[in-house]
Homo-oligomer: A and B are copies of this chain.
Amino acid sequence: MSPPSAAAESTTVWAELRHAEPSDVPFIRRMIYQMAEFERLTHLFSATDTSLLSTLFPSPPLPHFFSFTPLVLYLSFTSPPVPSSQTLSITQFSLSSPVVDPDEADFGSPLGDGRRIAGFVICFPNYSTFLAKPGLYIEDIFVREPWRRMGFGKFMLSSVAKKAAELGMGRVEWCVLDWNVNAIEFYKGMGAEVFQEWRICRLTGPSLEKYKDE
């Protein structure tokens, strides 16, 4: 007799990275807050659904990847998603065990179709004068805690990099905190160079406002 097979059974999950819709904004806002918690930067968080909606979904809309571009990671558990014009990429994952997701109720698809939101990306075009080419800057790439270390981050970053390469862009860039050694190793494994010499400078708040009066 063979042993019980339950432990060896894998769970199939389909992941779709798709361009966000206005109805995704409350999920994105919650994930931005979770990211701020992880980065110990909640004191800098002031986004609301209204401010995200007006800045990420301007009217008239701009073409994807030519301005601020939010993408959402949807997981399907019962059947593969049907690709739409909003789909950037779809792939299938086999998880070694079912995932316990304590925030399940907060991240169910607004369509009530049993899908789950597990991550997001926000990117926008940047420009390299040395290359005289646009690139893509990833402002945020985030996977919710229960879904980490399963390949979803790699799926999202690969999908965005593939699109940038197809668009003829010269670079894909993003930032990482120097103490986040897991992320740094992950990015290096994806082929990224991590620059040690550059420092970010910022004018914000009163330091920026004072220039209004100059």
Measured between C-beta atoms, what is the minimum distance from A186 to chain B in Å? Answer: 10
Which of the segments A12-20, A108-116, A177-185 contacts the partner chain? A177-185
| Number of A interface residues in the complex (CB < 8 A) | 73
Q: Is A130 an interface residue (CB 8 A)?
A: yes
- With contacts A132-B55, A195-B199 known, is A211 near B173, CB below 8 A? no
Smallest Cβ-Cβ distance to A134: which chain B residue: B55
Instruction: State in angstroms the CA–CA spacing of A191 and B170 once bound together.
Output: 32
Interface-facing stretch out of A46-54, A75-83, A143-151: A46-54
Bound complex: CA A35 to CA B195 (Å): 19
With A137-B126, A184-B199 already in contact, the answer to whether A208 and B172 are too (CB < 8 A) is: yes
Digit string of A87-126 for contact with B (CB within 8 Å is 1, else 0)? 0000000000000000000000000000000000010111
